[in-house]
Amino acid sequence: MTDLHDDMHVKMKIATSEEIWKPGGPVEDWTTDYDIRDEGYIENPVPMWAAMREKCPIAHTDRLGGSWNPTRFDDVREMAKMTDEFSSRQVLVMPPAPNTPEMSRYEQMIAAAPITADPPIHTWTRRMLLPAFAPKAVTRWQDYTEELCHQLIDGFIESGQCDGAVDFSQQIPPRVIAHMIGVDAGMADQFVIWVNAVLGEAMSDPVARLKARDELIGFISEEVAKRSQDPQDDLLTELIFMELDHPEANVTPAVVVGITNLLIVAGIDTTWSSIGSALWHLSQNPNDRQRLLDESDLLPVAIEEFLRYYAPVTMARVAEQDVEFNGVHIKNGDKILMNFPAACHDPEHFENPDDFIIDRARNRHVAFGSGIHRCAGSNLARLEMTTAIRVFLERIPHFELSDREPMKWAGGQVRGPRVMPLSFEPGQAR
Ligand code: HEM
């Protein structure tokens, strides 16, 4: 480690208290008192974003320890570029759990690098990942993903019903990631439990979040230690032994644990949410479903519209200094939500943004973020989404939402269906 990093090792208390977590009352004004835990907001945030964008495009709330919420495309994109002013070392949308252990700046940055890192750590940790996620490299996982989708459908097609979130969408990304990093695919169910606690239930249970995070890190640390002794032909081994041509690079086991933590957490919840939202949409819009069945080249265009309309990921930043930004005074230490989903509905950038247009021609969305942290896994995400939707439609061309049980959405950091009962004619054609 160079001298440059010395101050990075000073432990910092992360502001946290039980008080912050207490639920507030109903929201009366979305521009001054928004609540990302509000049930209506989780189910359909689009009207609230429109209200904020119109009245106060960078809204503020004191809830959950306070945060800013930019809703315009240009603001979100510009703020994502301001990496000197807004650090990524605290990207969680929810506040830290009470009694979160103190961490140094360096520990915060490598906790899930590159997403939690600022330059220069960001630069070389991101570089470690790019080759494995290049467009050509991810095609390696195509056959596995396709076969997996068929197997999952085989499991429920005769019954004429499934939970599109639990039995299908949720099953794909954890298995692809397990396969890629080289751990037993049998761990996939455990990954789902951990990721749910880290991102989903983190909305209400910070203590469970911390426990799940510790277990996940414990598991990864053991896998890293095993491969350091006994290298395998997998991504984890590649990361451990990677040599980088960058003056700041320092690939320690802790760095590899952080990167793998990110791959599991960022690669799973996001993609399963996007597959789930697409199926939810198709369950209720038979015209769009029919167009996908009839027009074989429409799917890649439709995937971009699913990504835009149902963009799942909001991230956070922490201000490193006082900043005047488009009429608001952001103070050193304030949290800013990178509301990529709201940006994807800005009428200044998208014609009729709140209409789902399956063949939308101009669609430069920011569902994968913007700037230096733009999603490194977007090629894999697109491959998984495209394969999942194509195979589902091939096997089950006609399906609908059923009222067997209520639909349930997750919100906050990653929005998507968590319970989605679907019905269809049993045993439709392969
Ligand atoms: C539809 C699925 C996905 C969506 C919508 C999505 C969205 C995002 C967004 C918005 C960011 C930017 C974060 C920020 O600015 O702080 C991001 C970063 C990232 N994503 Fe994804 N993601 C998806 C799937 C994946 C997958 C499958 C992987 C890999 C397995 C992945 C790996 C990453 C990584 C490594 C970063 C950090 C990049 C950096 O900081 O330089 N993502 N993702």
Mean pLDDT of the region 177-189: 91
How many angstroms separate the CA atoms of 230 and 412, rounded?
40
Of 307, 375, 382, 386, which is best to mutate to test ligand 1, by the most ligand atoms within 8 angstroms of its C-beta? 375
Ligand 1 atom closest to residue 274's alpha carbon, by position in its atom list: 1
Comparing 4-18, 30-44, 94-108, 236-250, the range with the smallest average pLDDT is 4-18
- Give pLDDT, residue 201: 67
Residue with tokens 């598991």: 219
**The token pair that represents 141 in the structure block:** 């996982």
Cβ atoms of residues 339 and 41 within 8 Å: no
> Is 418 touching ligand 1 by the criterion CB < 6 Å?
no
Q: Residue 276 Cα, ligand 1 centroid: separation in angstroms? A: 17
Instruction: Dump pLDDT digits (tens) for 260-305.
Output: 999 999 899 999 999 999 999 999 999 999 999 999 899 999 999 9
Give residue 325's pLDDT band: very low, low, confident or very high (50, 70, 90): very high
Q: Spell 152-189 as b/e; 16+ CB within 10 A means b.
A: bbeebbeebbbbbbbbbbbbbbbbbbbbbbebeeebbe
pLDDT at 1: 40
Residue 206 CB less than 6 A away from ligand 1: no
Q: How far is the CA of 378 from the centre of ligand 1 (A)?
A: 7
Ligand 1 proximity of 239 Cβ (cutoff 6 Å): no
Residue 3 has pLDDT above 60, yes or no: no
Residue 160 CA to ligand 1 center (angstroms) comes to 34
Q: What is the 3-state secondary structure (H, E, C) of the chain?
A: CCHHHHHHHCEECCCCCHHHHCCCCCCCCCCCCCCCCCHHHHHCCHHHHHHHHHHCCEEEECHHHCEEEECCHHHHHHHHHCCCCEECCCCCCCCCCCCCCCEEHHHHHHCCCCCCCCCCHHHHHHHHHHHHHCHHHHHHHHHHHHHHHHHHHHCCHHHCEEEHHHHHHHHHHHHHHHHHHCCCHHHHHHHHHHHHHHHHHHHCCHHHHHHHHHHHHHHHHHHHHHHHHCCCCCHHHHHHCCCCCCCCCCCCHHHHHHHHHHHHHHHHHHHHHHHHHHHHHHHHCHHHHHHHHHCCCCHHHHHHHHHHHCCCECEEEEECCCEEECCEEECCCCEEEECHHHHCCCCCCCCCCCCCCCCCCCCCCCCCCCHHHCCCCHHHHHHHHHHHHHHHHHHCCCEEECCCCCCEEECCCECEEEECEEEECCCCCC
**Per-residue b or e along 285-297, where b marks 16 or more CB atoms closer than 10 Å to that residue's CB:** eeebbeebeeeee
Looking from the CA of 221 toward its CB, the CA atoms found within 13 Å total 8
Q: How far apart are CA 21 and CA 150, in angstroms?
A: 42
Which residue lies with its CA nearest to atom 36 of ligand 1?
A: 375
Is the pLDDT score of 22 beyond 90?
Answer: no
395 or 6, which is more confident: 395
Q: Whose CA is nearest to atom 43 of ligand 1?
A: 375
Strongest mean pLDDT among 1-5, 40-44, 77-81:
77-81
Q: What sign for the dihedral angle of Cα 97, 103, 108, 110?
A: negative
What six digits make up the tokens of 165?
């979130």
The rounded radius of gyration (Å) of the Cα atoms in the chain is 21
Q: What is the mean pLDDT of residues 331-351?
A: 97
Which residue from 110, 270, 366 has its CB within 8 A of the most atoms of ligand 1, so it is best to mutate? 270
Tell me how far apart the alpha carbons of residues 375 and 368 are, in angstroms, rounded to a whole number. 5
Distance from C-alpha of 331 to C-alpha of 323, rounded to nearest angstrom: 6
**How high is the mean pLDDT of the chain?**
93
Nearest-angstrom CA–CA distance, 318 and 9: 18
Task: List, for residues 190-202, the tens digit of each pLDDT value.
Answer: 999 998 888 776 6
Distance (Å) from CA 375 to ligand 1 centroid: 3
User: Which position has the higher pLDDT, 145 or 24?
Assistant: 145
Over residues 37-50, the mean pLDDT reads 94
List domains and CATH numbers for the chain: 3-424 (1.10.630.10)
Residue type, 177: I
Q: What's phi and psi for 98, nearest 5 deg?
A: -55, 145
**Residue 205 binned pLDDT confidence (cut-offs 50, 70, 90):** confident
* Residue entry with tokens 């290049």: 134
Could you tell me if residue 392 is left (phi over 0), alpha (psi between -120 and 50 degrees) or otherwise beta? alpha
Nearest C-alpha to atom 11 of ligand 1 is from which residue?
Answer: 375
Q: How far apart are CA 43 and CA 196, in angstroms?
A: 18
Ligand 1: which atom is nearest the Cα of residue 367?
5
How far is CA 334 from each of CA 31, 100, 206, 340, rounded to the nearest angstrom? 17, 18, 20, 18
